[in-house]
Amino acid sequence: MTDDMAAAYGEMASDISEILVPAADIQRRVAEIGQAVSRDYAGRNPLLIGVLKGVLFFMADLLRAITIPVEVDFMAVSGYAPDARAPGVVRLVKDLEIPIGGRHVLFVEDVIDTGLTLNYLLRNLQARQPASLEVCVLFDKPEHRLIDLSLKYVGFQLPDRFIVGYGLDHREKYRNLPFVGLLKPEAFRRGAKDLADPNTGHGQDFGSL
Ligand code: 5GP
């Protein structure tokens, strides 16, 4: 962590043990993905779909990096811990406003870990018969993957560690950090369930995604 960063984000920055992806690297990669999407979807008026709230920053930056006409819509789900009784089952608390039948849909995701949540949502969307359905993920953590998923665009492959920043939270905090980093164990434990692993976050109840 640089002194500038620590000064600017004071209390939050002091909870971070390590920056995994600096802000400039995120911005550079998002711009590259935006160019690829613009090329691949030219003339197809794609519909980008995201799940609130973690994808907020990635979606906003990606949209600005796309230079062709594009539409956006959001879903909101309430998640359960990956090892809960019904793994990967999420409750839809806000559905899409735009019908996706016959549309070219790009599902935009901030982070994929086990893949269970994404798999559940993709099956839900596929049933609505879009013309195409592809996935764009910024942070891919493939080590803990339980389901084989095909990903069209991947920003960064990261180790199986619990990350915060750039939209990703721990108990609703740290979303507004411009970089992605790891939490110090004491910061992770603050308010977290005792059983959750401070390194990977496994066992945590991901209440709001
Ligand atoms: P899944 O294991 O189903 O792929 O991921 C479920 C959800 O858990 C993700 O959509 C995301 O909201 C959350 N999640 C997974 N890994 C992390 C992480 O490292 N940090 C944070 N803040 N959330 C995560």
Residues 111-160: pLDDT tens digits?
Answer: 999 999 999 999 999 999 999 999 999 999 999 999 999 999 999 999 99
25-29, 63-67, 102-106, 115-119: least confidently modelled range: 115-119
72-76, 144-148, 159-163, 204-208: least confidently modelled range: 204-208
Report residue 200's pLDDT band, with 50, 70 and 90 as the boundaries. Answer: confident
20, 161 in Cβ contact below 8 A? yes
Residues 40-52: pLDDT tens digits?
Answer: 999 999 999 999 9
Output the six-digit token pair for 31: 């711009």
d(Cα 125, Cα 121) in Å, to the nearest integer?
Answer: 6
The atom of ligand 1 lying closest to the CA of 82 is 2
Task: Summarize the confidence of residues 16-22 as an average pLDDT.
Answer: 96
Report residue 196's pLDDT band, with 50, 70 and 90 as the boundaries. Answer: confident
- The rounded percent of the chain whose pLDDT value lies above 90 is 77
pLDDT on residue 154 = 98
- The closest residue, in CA terms, to atom 6 on ligand 1 is 117
pLDDT on residue 199 = 80
Domains detected in the chain: 25-161 (3.40.50.2020)
Give the pTM.
Answer: 0.92
Q: Taking all residues of the chain, what is their mean pLDDT, rounded to a whole number?
A: 91
> Look-up: residue for tokens 């090892």?
83
Output the six-digit token pair for 137: 């993920």
pLDDT on residue 52 = 95
Bigger pLDDT: 93 vs 204:
93
Report residue 98's pLDDT band, with 50, 70 and 90 as the boundaries. Answer: very high
* Active-site amino acid positions: 113
The atom of ligand 1 lying closest to the CA of 200 is 19
- Ligand 1 centroid distance, CA of 43 (Å): 33
DSSP string of 41-86, one letter each residue:
TTTS--EEEEEETTTHHHHHHHHHH--S--EEEEEEEE---TTSSS
* Ligand 1 pocket list (CB less than 6 A): 54, 79, 82, 111-118, 162-164, 168-170, 201, 206, 209
